[in-house]
Amino acid sequence: MNNSNSILDLIIAAKKIVISSHISPDADAIGSEVALCSALQQLGKDVKIINPGNHPANLQFLINHFSEGTYSYFNSKLTEFDCDLVIIVDTSQRKQFESVANFILKSNATIICIDHHLNPDDLFHHQHIDTTLPATGILIYNLISKFPNFKLTLPIAESLYAAIMTDTGSFRFTRTTGMVHEIIAKLVDAGANPSLIYEHIYETGSIQRLHLLGKALQSIQLWHNQKTSVITITKNDFEETKTSTEDLDNVVNLGFTIKGVDVSLMIVQLNDNFKMSFRSKGDFPANKLAQHFGGGGHLNAAGARYKANSLETVLNELKSKTEELYNSI
Ligand SMILES: [Mn+2]
């Protein structure tokens, strides 16, 4: 079912609610969770955020105002899932929150999904998915605005601003409509500080991250008449720079700073698979490319996890599949 009103009714009727999102949560995931959690607390709900894994340090400022116990990670010691409603935000793919999914499916809780990605898995009792929106934060804003006596507090305004700013590439991606800016105006009027939030998220990095970025930039190759940019990061790069995949947030977009590039790809070697991020401009279907490697996403932003023997194998396959898709548009 794709109906925000029935979801509103379910939320109003629920007493104990758990919110969760995807592994390696980004600002849209954390921001949506925090805003929803805070708005549910206004309604007097007993609500917790339980995520499948750790969040990056630059998003810590969004959860600082919660008292202890409200925000935590899933762990195997959790034996009871004591809630009547689970709300999954910013993902609809079970493999992105597998540990939490395994657990909630054993409970009697109703499971709701609020998301803006394509191809949802079939495990939700209700879903509110709008793939035309640039961020889950927009769906959350529209939903919580309908809560009785809703107050747009500073933590909610900051969280949603962070969610929308990051998922729109700082308001430059194609789905950044006038409606998005109208919501942003309300968040800023409620106290969200654009320069401070930008600084928290993008200007609190480490020297190690810049060293990794150096390796990423050095690795760039151009394919298909300089239209495709490819960044490769190896396990060795992480070891040498003492960094992790978290340090690669947004790096895939750097390919677009090269004139004429309309497809930007990044392949990251992990312990037992390759993490692939695909971005495109215009009609090139990044999601079809991702589907070929077992992943998914949007027309212009998609990704996959792929098992292969070597980086070379991955690059060869990627090169020919990208060319095939170029020829199909
Ligand atoms: Mn998102």
Q: How confident is the model at residue 5 (pLDDT cuts 50, 70, 90)?
A: confident
Residue 113 in tokens? 């999904």
* pLDDT for the residue numbered 79: 61
Measured in Å, residue 145 CA sits from the centre of ligand 1 at 19
Measured between alpha carbons, how far apart are the two ends of the chain, in Å? 33
* 257-282 average pLDDT score: 97
Lowest mean pLDDT among 105-114, 148-157, 183-192: 105-114
Non-local CB neighbours of 90 within 8 Å, separated by 6+ positions: 21, 22, 25, 26, 28, 29, 32, 114, 115, 116, 117, 136
What is 4-202's CATH number, 3.90.1640.10, 1.10.630.10, 2.60.120.650, 3.40.50.10540? Answer: 3.90.1640.10
Residue 50 in tokens? 């339980």
* pLDDT for the residue numbered 146: 97
What mean pLDDT is reported for the chain? 94
Measured in Å, residue 29 CA sits from the centre of ligand 1 at 6
For residue range 158-173, list pLDDT tens digits in order.
999 999 999 999 999 9
Non-local CB neighbours of 276 within 8 Å, separated by 6+ positions: 265, 266, 267, 268, 290, 293, 295, 303, 304, 305, 306, 314, 318
* pLDDT for the residue numbered 250: 86
Which span out of 28-32, 92-96, 249-253 was modeled with the highest average pLDDT? Answer: 28-32
For residue range 180-192, list pLDDT tens digits in order.
999 999 999 999 9
On the question of pLDDT at 3 being above 70, the answer is no
On the question of pLDDT at 78 being above 70, the answer is no
DSSP assignment of 118-133, as one string? SS--TT-SEEEE-TTS
CA distance 119 to 91: 10
Q: Look at 245 and 77; give whichever has higher pLDDT.
A: 245
Non-local CB neighbours of 99 within 8 Å, separated by 6+ positions: 52, 74
Partners of 264 in the beta sheet?
229, 279
Measured in Å, residue 87 CA sits from the centre of ligand 1 at 15
For residue range 120-136, list pLDDT tens digits in order.
999 999 999 999 999 99
Place of tokens 């309309």: 262
CA distance 251 to 266: 8
Measured in Å, residue 90 CA sits from the centre of ligand 1 at 5
Measured in Å, residue 138 CA sits from the centre of ligand 1 at 10
Q: What is the dihedral of CA 161, 162, 167, 173, to 10 degrees?
A: 60
Side-chain-side CA neighbours of residue 51 (13 Å) = 24
* 271-299 average pLDDT score: 95
CA distance 48 to 102: 18
* pLDDT for the residue numbered 157: 98
CA distance 105 to 103: 5
Measured in Å, residue 316 CA sits from the centre of ligand 1 at 30
On the question of pLDDT at 322 being above 70, the answer is yes
On the question of pLDDT at 1 being above 60, the answer is no
- Give the pTM: 0.85
Q: What share of the chain has pLDDT > 70, as a percent?
A: 97
What is 207-328's CATH number, 3.10.310.30, 3.50.50.60, 3.30.750.210, 3.40.50.2300? Answer: 3.10.310.30
CA distance 165 to 3: 26
Q: How confident is the model at residue 298 (pLDDT cuts 50, 70, 90)?
A: confident
81 with 48: CB under 8 angstroms? no
Measured in Å, residue 31 CA sits from the centre of ligand 1 at 10
110 with 123: CB under 8 angstroms? no
Place of tokens 């239209």: 227
* pLDDT for the residue numbered 4: 67
On the question of pLDDT at 76 being above 70, the answer is no
Lowest mean pLDDT among 193-202, 243-252, 276-285: 243-252
* pLDDT for the residue numbered 2: 57
Which span out of 67-76, 185-194, 297-306 was modeled with the highest average pLDDT? Answer: 185-194
Helices (H) and strands (E) in the chain, counts: 12, 12
Lowest mean pLDDT among 55-64, 94-103, 168-177: 94-103
CA distance 200 to 232: 27
Residue 41 in tokens? 């607390």
For the chain, what are the domain ranges?
Answer: 4-202, 207-328
Measured in Å, residue 135 CA sits from the centre of ligand 1 at 5
* pLDDT for the residue numbered 246: 84
Please choose, from the candidates 17, 12, 8, 58, the residue with its C-alpha nearest in 3D space to the C-alpha of residue 37: 17
* pLDDT for the residue numbered 119: 85
